[in-house]
Structure 1
Amino acid sequence: MRKLDIISDAICPWCWIGKRNLDAALELLAADGLRFEIRWRPFQLNPEMPAEGVARAEYRAQKFGSESRGRELDGNVAQAGRAVGLDFRHELMLRTPNTVAAHRVIRMAEASGLQHAVVEALFRGYFQEGRDVGDAATLAKLAGGAGMDAAAVAGMLAGEAHRAEVLAEDMAARRGGISGVPSFLMDRHLLFSGAMPAERMADAFRQADTILSERASAA
Structure 2
Amino acid sequence: MLEELGSLPAPVLGLEEYKEDFRRHFWVADVTWRLERGLTFREPGSPSWVAMRGGDWDGALRLAEGMRAGRVEHQRALDRRGIVQRRVRFVCEPLTAYLQWELHVLTIWAELGEQITVLPTAAVAHLEAREELPEVLILGERVASPVMYVIQYSAGVLSGARRFVDRELIEVCRREVAALWRCGEDILRYFPRRIESLPPPDVREE
Question: TM-score higher than 0.5 here?
Answer: no
Report the structure number with the largest CA radius of gyration.
Answer: 1
TM-score, normalised to structure 2's length?
0.30
TM-score, normalised to structure 1's length?
0.29
